[in-house]
Chain A
Amino acid sequence: DTAVSQTPKYLVTQMGNDKSIKCEQNLGHDTMYWYKQDSKKFLKIMFSYNNKELIINETVPNRFSPKSPDKAHLNLHINSLELGDSAVYFCASSPPGTVYEQYFGPGTRLTVT
């Protein structure tokens, strides 16, 4: 009965590699997000999709590309990984309405060596 799930939970890779993180929600929400949490715990929004349409695209390097095949899935692909990309990446979703409370996934800890 997992609400928002992410895979993988841990990802260790070398600089220059390309990697993907997958996210799925079974809450029936229509909006999904990617957040980055750095080592100092700052949470920053990266992207948001509403019904497969990109609605938020913050200042993020072009190496990061989100993809939403349907409203229950939002994946994140990262090209040419850099040391500074090391962080915890959280996927989240929110229901329709006016509150837009975020339901977060468990996070993917990415370590770039």
Chain B
Amino acid sequence: GQQVMQIPQYQHVQEGEDFTTYCNSSTTLSNIQWYKQRPGGHPVFLIQLVKSGEVKKQKRLTFQFGEAKKNSSLHITATQTTDVGTYFCAGRNTGRRALTFGSGTRLQVQP
């Protein structure tokens, strides 16, 4: 079945440093979504990418979808303590409604 892996599992940065998490799927995806889960909270939808090579920005967050639609990345510029949490990618295959969530990257930001 479809597998979605994320690296790194965990990243600890100093406030102001940049952060990137990478997502890789074993199959070609029709689209990919990103979610953020704060400690003790629930996942919150951030964005969806659909097109090959697509890049979207939300303030300090930059999302990319690979040309082959099998990988994606989330980059945070100048991290803040409010960025703490676990970031999940979630991929969907064509014709399927089910999302396959990645293993998540836990981000810790030292003030």
Contacts and interface: CB of A to CB of B under 8 A. Distances in A.
Contacts, number: 50
A107 interface: yes
Interface residues of B, number: 21
B78 interface: no
A66 interface: no
Interface string A25-56: 00000010000000011111100101000011
Interface residues of A, number: 22
Contacts of B43: 43, 90, 102, 104
Contacts of B92: 100
A106 to B, nearest CB: 6
Contacts of B44: 104
B27 interface: no
Given A90-B42, A104-B43, A45 B99 contact: yes
A101 B42 contact: no
Given A43-B88, A90-B43, A58 B98 contact: yes
Interface of B: 33, 35, 37, 41-45, 48, 86, 88, 90, 92, 97-101, 103-104, 106
23 contacts: A41-B104, A42-B101, A42-B103, A43-B43, A43-B88, A43-B90, A43-B101, A43-B104, A44-B101, A45-B100, A45-B101, A48-B98, A50-B97, A56-B97, A58-B98, A90-B42, A90-B43, A101-B33, A101-B45, A101-B48, A102-B35, A104-B43, A106-B41
